[in-house]
């Protein structure tokens, strides 16, 4: 059916494009610990889809942490993966 055809096309395009990590600026001292804390939060419930929200004042490294976590995990995603900022 049409949905199956769309799935096949999406898988074919994704296999040709490959997965590319996001650009992350070198993070400052202490950021690695924050990245690992976020990864722990994501591993607490390994059943299905997990989602977290990072919030706080601007300029404190939320996007840097999110991109670093995404880069560590995106190879494990099956099918599509995306990063939405702002």
3-state secondary structure the chain: CHHHHHHHHHHHHHHHHCCCCCCCCCCCCCHHHHHHHHHHHHHCCCCCCCCCCCCCCCCCCHHHHHHHHHHHHHHHCCCCCCCCCC
- Whether the per-residue pLDDT at 42 is higher than 70: the answer is yes
- Spatial CA neighbour of 23 closest among 70, 62, 57: 70
Give the per-residue pLDDT at 56: 92
Tokens of 6: 């769309």
User: Domain ranges in the chain?
Assistant: 21-86
Neighbours of 17 (CB within 10 A): 8
pLDDT digits (tens, 9 = 90+) for 46-86: 667 778 888 999 988 888 888 888 888 877 776 667 777 76
């Amino acid at each position: 059916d049409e949905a199956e055809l769309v799935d096949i096309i999406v898988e074919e395009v994704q296999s040709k494009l490959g997965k590319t990590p996001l650009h992350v600026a070198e993070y400052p001292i202490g950021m690695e610990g924050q990245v690992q804390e976020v990864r722990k939060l994501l591993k607490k419930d390994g059943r299905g889809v997990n989602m977290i929200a990072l919030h706080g004042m601007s300029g404190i490294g939320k996007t840097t942490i999110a991109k670093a976590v995404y880069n560590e995990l995106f190879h494990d995603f099956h099918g599509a993966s995306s990063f939405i900022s702002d």
